[in-house]
């Protein structure tokens, strides 16, 4: 996830600057910088023996419609299975979207996994899901946030996990912030959890020490003990 270290405003999240970038037609350039930086960091971690199997990068819908995407990816010499593109749920394609469909095919040929981000916010259909054929669904944080208070939300969350598994798709829950979130999602069989309950976003230079200390393994149990 990109952050802009603004000299006046401080750290800005994408919702604060992506619309401006789109108006300036700068999204492709930003995506390119993020991708190159992520791959450089990942290769450095690999060289240091850090056991991180792959890196995920958010990619804008506009980038997927870029006819030059294939050329860019070919020049990056990406090792198959080490990179995932996170696409917003709104990316679901129609059959006339030839450039995007061709780019999706290229991603698969290069061994780049496709993850659907913020799933469950209302844009997707099962047919669209089958068409995109992602490796991973990342359930929107709003569904997770409301799960402890709402039976309906828990049923919806459980159904999304079941649908993903029935299609052979890994399911990740975003916005996991409490011990109750962890318990609910583990009981539902969610594959992976992401959120402040496990780890806040870290700069690349802190990843090595974090993984080496295996802090990510102990975070859920610490939170659950504190809640108890």
- Numbers of helices and strands, H then E, in the chain: 11, 8
Of 40-49, 168-177, 179-188, the one with minimum mean pLDDT is 40-49
Spatial contact of 12 and 4, defined as CB atoms under 8 Å apart: yes
Domains of the chain in sequence order: 4-227 (3.20.20.450)
Of 56-65, 87-96, 124-133, the one with minimum mean pLDDT is 87-96
Rg (CA), the chain: 18
Q: Is 44 helix (H, G, I), strand (E, B) or coil?
A: helix
Q: What pLDDT sits at residue 222?
A: 46
Band (87; pLDDT cuts 50, 70, 90): confident
Give the tens place of pLDDT for each residue, 24-40.
888 778 888 888 889 99
Query: At residue 114, does pLDDT exceed 80?
Result: yes
Which residue in the block uniquely carries the two structure tokens 């780049």?
A: 112
Name all contacts of 179-184 with Cβ < 8 Å and 24+ positions apart: 179/220, 179/223, 179/224, 179/226, 179/227, 179/228, 180/148, 180/227, 181/144, 181/147, 181/148, 182/220, 182/223, 182/224, 183/224, 184/147, 184/148, 184/154, 184/157
Query: At residue 150, does pLDDT exceed 60?
Result: yes
């Amino acid at each position: 996830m990109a952050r802009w270290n603004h000299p006046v405003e401080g750290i800005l999240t994408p919702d604060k600057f992506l619309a401006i970038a789109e108006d300036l037609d700068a999204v492709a350039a930003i995506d390119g910088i993020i991708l190159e930086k992520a791959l450089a960091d990942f290769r450095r971690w690999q060289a240091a023996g850090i056991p991180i199997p792959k890196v995920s990068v958010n990619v804008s819908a506009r980038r997927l419609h870029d006819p030059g995407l294939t050329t860019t990816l070919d020049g990056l010499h990406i090792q198959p299975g080490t990179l995932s593109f996170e696409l917003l749920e709104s990316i679901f394609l129609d059959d006339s979207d030839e450039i995007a469909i061709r780019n999706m095919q290229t991603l698969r040929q290069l061994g780049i996994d496709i993850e659907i981000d913020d799933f469950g916010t209302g844009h997707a259909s099962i047919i669209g899901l089958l068409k995109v054929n992602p490796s991973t669904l990342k359930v929107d944080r709003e569904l997770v946030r409301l799960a402890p208070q709402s039976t309906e939300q828990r049923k919806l969350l459980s159904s999304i996990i079941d649908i993903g598994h029935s299609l052979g798709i890994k399911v990740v829950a975003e916005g996991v912030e409490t011990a109750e979130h962890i318990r609910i999602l583990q009981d539902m069989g969610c594959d992976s959890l992401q959120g402040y309950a496990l780890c806040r976003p870290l700069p690349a230079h802190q990843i090595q020490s974090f993984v080496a200390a295996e802090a990510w393994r102990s975070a859920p149990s610490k939170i659950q003990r504190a809640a108890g």
